[in-house]
Structure 1
Amino acid sequence: MAPKPKVLATNPVFPETQALLEAHATVEINRSLDPWSYQEVRQRCRDAAGLLVFMNDSIDANFFAACPDLRVIGAALKGFDNIDVQAATDAGVWVTIVPDLLTIPTAELAIGLMLSLGRNIVTGDRNIKANGYSGWRAELYGAGLASATVGIVGFGLVGRAIAERLAGFQCRLLAYDQSVSVALAASWPSVTMTSLEDVMARSDYVVLALPLTDDTRHLINSRTIAAMKRGARLVNPARGSLVDESAVADAIGRGHLAGYAADAFECEDWALEHRPSGIDRRLTDLSAPTVFTPHIGSAVTDVRREIELSAARSILDALAGRVPSGAVNDPGKQLAHAQPAAR
C-alpha cells in the first residue's frame, strides 16, 4: 500500500477538519495560535503534497522551489493576494479558495462596525467599565444609519450583501464598481451606481468591499479622502492595504474624517514588501474616533468550520487527481502547454 501523502496545516483547525484530512493523508498541524514564520512553514512543507493556509501565510516563488512535492494549496480564504498564483501554476500546484462562505459574516460585521462607529458603542462600553455608571449625561452624540447616505466601494458578493442588509435602515445607497454589468446594476434599483468621486463626495459612510490588487492598493489615500465630505466615516471590513492608514490618521487629526472602523490592517498584508510593522498609533490611541476588530470578519464558528472543511475537501480532490472546487488556476493546462509537441 502506498504511503499517505503529507498535508500541512499552518494554523489550528477544527477536529472535523483534522479527521477529514487524516482519513486520506498524514497530517501535521500548527496547534499554537502563534503563526509559524515563513521559513518554518517552508521547512515543514518540504515533503508535503498538500498545504492548508490561512490569512497569516505568504507563499511566493521561492516557497515552491523549496517544496518540490507540493501539489495543492487549499486557502481557507476568499482573498488570495498572499499567494503568488502564477508561481504556483508554473510549479504545477493547484491553488483553491473558498469564494462564498465568508460573504454574509463579513457583511454582518460591516454593519456592526458602522453602528459601533457612528453610535459610539465601543466608547460608551469602555467608559462604563472604567468609570462606572451613575445615569444619563448629554454626551457621546453620534450619527445613526437611518436616512444616511452610504457609499459601497466594490459591488461584488460582499458589497451586495452589505447593501441588502442596509435596506432595512432606510439608507440612501450609492455604489462604485467598474466591473458591474448593466444587467446587474438594473437588478438593484435601490442602489445608485456612480463614480468613485461621487461616492466619496456624497456619502456619510463609505464602506469598502474590494479585493486587494495592484489597482486597489491605497485606493483610499490623501487625495480620495480629501474628496470625502467633511464629517464622513470610513469603514474597512475588506483588506488593510486598500487604505493608507497614515492618511486616515492625518484626516482624523484635521477633523475632516469623523471616524474610521476596520477589521483588516496594512501590517497583515504579508505579501507586500513595504507594509508597516503595526497600526499607526494615532489611530489606536484611546481617544481616537476609531473602532477596530482583529480580523474577525468570518469568525462565526459554524462558518469557519465549513470554510476549513471546504478547503480540506479541495486539497483531497486535487491529491486524488480530481479538479478541486474553488480553484483559481489550472496547473494542468500550464503543464500541458509546456510539453513539447508530439512528433
Structure 2
Amino acid sequence: MTIAFFSALPFEQTWFEPYRLNHRITYIAEALTPQTAWRARGHQAVCAFVNDDLSRPTLTLLNGMGVSVVGMRCTGLDNVDQEAMQALNMSLLHLPGYAPASVAELSVALLLALVRHLPEASQRVRSGNFAIDGLMGTTLHGKTVGVVGTGHIGQAFARCMQGFGCTVLAYDIRPNRKLLDTGVRYVALADLLAQADVVSLHCPLNDQTGHLINDRTLTLLKAGAVLVNTGRGRLVDTAAVLDALDAGKLGGYAADVYEGERAYFHYDFSAKPIPDTLLNRLRQHPKVLLTAHQGFLTDEAMRQIARGLLNQFSFYDNQQTALVTKASMC
C-alpha cells in the first residue's frame, strides 16, 4: 500500500521503517490541510497526526484522488470528521489504547515539576545560583487528586497518584469498575472541582467537553488548586485559566497542549516572532509549565504506534486483496 505520512517529524522515519514491510511511505513534513492534500495524489492512504485537518473539505479532496483509508497515529479523533468519512466510504484506522503510561507519566512529571519549582531550580543551578529561597514546594502525599476522564490514560494516572499516597476522585460518564475496586471514588464534576487539590484532564475532546474548564467551572475550584492538562488544548479556556492564575484562584497550570497549538507545536520558532499573544502570555507565566505536545514521545510508545498502525494498514490491505480475489472468482 502507498501511504502519505503528513506532519512527519524528523525522527519518525527511524521508527516506522523497520515495520514498513511492503508498504511504500512518503514522509511529508507539512500538516495535512485542504491546501496540502494534493500531496497525497498517487497514494492509497494517508497517515495523519494530532494537528492535521481531517475535516470534510480535506477528506473530500483526498477521496477524489483515490485515497480510501486514513490512519491516525494518535489517540484522539477530535480532528477527524467521522460522519464525512462514512459518507465518502473511507476507512479509519487508529490506536485508541497505545502506551497510556507514556502520557500518564508525563502528567505526573509536569505536576511534580510545577509544584516543586524544578524548572526554576534547575535554571538557578545552571547559572551558579544555589539559593533555595522562593522555591517552597507542595507535597503530593495526602492530597486529593481529581481525574476527569478515566479511559486508559486516566486510569494509569489515577494509579500513579494512588502510589503517591493521594486520595483519588474521578469523573466520567462511564465509571470504571476496576478503578472503583482500587478505592477511586466517582463524584459529580462540581464536587470533584470543589474537593481536589489537583485536577488532571484526560477526557476526549468533543462537543460536550470543549472548554470544560471555563470562567464558571474555575470558580468551583478549591482555592490554590493545580490544573493539569495533557489531553487536548481546547478542554480549557486558556484566557480564563490565565485570569484565574493572575487572580490567585488557580495555584498553577501544567499542560502539554494548547488550544491554538496547530500553528506552532512541533516547529522551531526560536528565531521567529510568535504573534499569538495568548500563547506568549501562557508560556511566559510564572505559574505555568508548558510543553509542546510530547506525551507520546517515548521509545515504548513510538514502537507501539509504528508496529500497531502499520500492522493495521497491512490487515486492511490484505482484506481488500482477498475481496478482489473472491470477486474475480465469482
Name the TM-score, length of structure 1 as normaliser: 0.83
- Residues 14 and 305 from structure 1, CA distance in 2 versus in 1: closer, same or farther, beyond 3 angstroms? farther
Match of 1:116 among 113, 118, 121: 113
Change (3 A) 1:57 1:277: farther
Whether 1:26 and 2:36 are equivalent positions in the alignment is no
TM-fit CA distance, 1:209 = 0.8
> 1:154-189 CA distances to partner (integer Å, 9 max, x unpaired)?
1121111111111121111111112216x455423x
One-letter amino acid matched to 1:109: L
* CA shift for structure 1 position 269: 6.0
Q: Does 1:302 align with 2:300?
A: yes
The whole-number CA distance in structure 2 between the counterparts of 1:262 and 1:64 is 30
Residues 47, 210 of structure 1: CA spacing in aligned structure 2 closer, same or farther, 3 A cutoff?
same
- Measure how far apart 1:26 and its partner are: 3.2
Question: Is 249-258 or 312-321 further displaced after alignment?
Answer: 312-321
The structure whose RCO (Cα within 8 Å, separation 6+) is larger is 1
Partner of 1:281: 280
User: Aligned letter for 2:309?
Assistant: A
For 1:9, the aligned partner's letter is F
Equivalent of 1:70 in 50, 58, 67: 67
8 A contact 2:32–2:54 mirrored in 1: no
* Rounded Cα–Cα distance in structure 1 between residues aligned with 2:25 and 2:279: 39
Are the structure 2 counterparts of residues 296 and 278 from structure 1 closer, same or farther at C-alpha, using a change threshold of 3 Å? farther
Once the two structures are superposed, what CA deviation does each residue of 1:249-293 show, in whole Å capped at 9, x if it has no partner? 0001111111100001101368xxxxx9574433222x5211111
Tell me the CA shift for residue 139 of structure 1: 2.3
Name the residue aligned to 2:13: 14
Return the match for 1:187 from 181, 185, 188.
181
Q: What residue number does 1:161 align with?
A: 156
Per-residue CA deviation, residues 72-110 of structure 1 (Å, 9 max, x unaligned), is 111111101111111111111111111122311011011
Q: Distance in 1 between matches of 2:89 and 2:105?
A: 37
CA contact (8 A) 2:194 2:221 kept: yes
1:318 maps to 2:313: no
Deviations 1:129-156 (A, max 9, x none): 3x412x4443211212111111111112
- What RMSD in Å do the two structures reach over aligned CA positions? 2.3
Q: 1:303 to 1:37 in 2, by over 3 A?
A: closer
- 1:40 Cα deviation after fit: 5.1
Q: What is the CA–CA distance in structure 2 between the aligned matches of 1:102 and 1:265, rounded to whole Å?
A: 22
Identity of aligned residues (%): 29
Q: How do 1:50-199 residues align onto structure 2 when only pairs under 5 Å count?
A: 50-67=45-62, 68=64, 69-129=66-126, 131-133=127-129, 135-180=130-175, 183-184=177-178, 186-188=180-182, 190-199=183-192
Q: Report deviation, 1:123.
A: 1.8
Residues 177 and 60 (structure 1 numbering): CA distance in 2 closer, same or farther, change over 3 Å?
Answer: same
In the TM superposition, residue 125 of structure 1 has moved relative to its aligned partner by 1.4
Report the number of matched residues.
306
Structure 1 gap segments, 5+ residues each: 271-275, 324-331, 333-343
Q: For the Cα contact (< 8 Å) 1:7–1:52, is it kept in 2?
A: yes
Q: Which runs of 5+ in 2 are unaligned?
A: 264-274, 324-330
